[in-house]
Chains A and B, each alone.
Chain A
Amino acid sequence: MINQENKMKNEDLQNIINGLAENLEFSEEGSEFLNVIVPKESLYNLCSQLKSKSDLDFDYAYCITGMDWGKELGVIYHLESTTLKHKIVVKVMTDDRENPTLDSVWDIWRTAEFHELEVYDFFGVKFNNHPGLRRLFLTPDWDGWPLRKDYVDEANMIVK
């Protein structure tokens, strides 16, 4: 349930964030969080402002998830402010499935370093300026990106 207090916060957040970058798309998707879809060119700029602006102060990235929407690949950032107690979901996506590349946010939130390694491991999304992109859970010589929707592994997978 979306309570009234939360609703007010989300509207306030949307008003503040709307001016930070161009072409932002807002939605709530029936969840408690405000969703922002940001063009990948503005991702780093928006994230650093989300962290640094004192009335936003998103100092904690508590979940960073890779996503395959079938057509686009992307990343979903769940952010929280531990001082102001508000949360937001930032989504970024790219159409390029051959060589998907996004900006790394690891120097904004240090925890992003390993989250981005995981996204790279399973979805093959590369991150500019990441300090050491490599296989994390899978073996170094692994071929392919197993959590993509079009992943094929005839030896191990029984498809149903």
Chain B
Amino acid sequence: MGVDNKKRYLSQLEAEGLNEVVPDDFPGKIIPGGNGGNIVVTTLDSVINWGRSNSLWSLYFGTSCCAIEMMQTGAARNDYSRFGFEVARASARQADLIIIAGTIVNKMGPVLRRLYDQMAEPKYVIAMGACAISGGPFYYNSYSVIKGADHVIPVDVYVPGCPPRPEALLEGMIMLQKKIKTENMSKKVNPIDGYDEGDIV
């Protein structure tokens, strides 16, 4: 018993595997307290960003074939839960992320905007596939397709492809995580501020 029996120094703890229980990307420094407890040193921003980027819940939103690839990305073989996209939600109120997986037509535009408005902040948008980026194969000679979902809501990450493979979508989602990790609470702007409102039905 006594202080001498406790682990007092970081170097001693490291030797016994502290690094195994603390993830590599943990945004802070752990200082052993010497009495079994530890002191964590970090900033609020890094902890909040770390938490947000690793628990992004996406909305079920698939309007065409890209949705099939999105489902595959969530299914066992690719499994985006590994990266913190834990579950998909059927309600915009519970979602942090909307993956626009498919063509957005004029009739769908107001619906997409309403879903985006219903999501709690902070909220993020990935435009998946050619249709959501630019209208894709429907760019020319189409009376009904919106030429890019960013005419309706602001987009954070564009994932090209027709449709993109699950690996490509995962890459895009990890890019979004990296973007979130650079956020700063005091300087954060709401992407919808100053956005062209257009005619909302």
Residues of A at the B interface (CB closer than 8 Å) are 139, 146, 151, 153, 156-160
Say whether chain A's binding surface is mostly helix, strand, loop, or mixed. Answer: loop
Q: Does B147 contact A (CB under 8 A)?
A: yes
B107, B144, B147, most chain A CB atoms within 10 A: B144
Q: Which residues of B contact A139 (CB under 8 A)?
A: 107
Q: Which residues of A contact B107 (CB under 8 A)?
A: 139
Q: Are A159 and B141 in contact (CB under 8 A)?
A: yes
Say whether chain B's binding surface is mostly helix, strand, loop, or mixed. Answer: loop
Q: Interface extent on B, as a size class?
A: under 10
Give Cα A157 to B144, complex, Å.
Answer: 8
Q: Which residues of A contact B106 (CB under 8 A)?
A: 156
The proximity string for B residues 99-129 relative to A, scoring 1 for CB distances below 8 Å and 0 otherwise, is 0000000110000000000000000000000
B147 to chain A: closest residue by CB: A158
Q: Are A156 and B141 in contact (CB under 8 A)?
A: no
Q: Are B141 and A158 in contact (CB under 8 A)?
A: yes
Q: Which residues of B contact A157 (CB under 8 A)?
A: 141-143
Q: Which residues of A contact B141 (CB under 8 A)?
A: 157-160
* B138-154 CB contacts (< 8 Å) to partner A: 139-144, 147
The proximity string for B residues 66-108 relative to A, scoring 1 for CB distances below 8 Å and 0 otherwise, is 0000000000000000000000000000000000000000110
Q: Which residues of B contact A158 (CB under 8 A)?
A: 139-141, 147
Q: Are B140 and A151 in contact (CB under 8 A)?
A: no
Q: Which residues of A contact B142 (CB under 8 A)?
A: 156-157
Q: Which residues of A contact B140 (CB under 8 A)?
A: 158-160
Distance (Å) between the CB of B41 and the closest chain A CB?
56
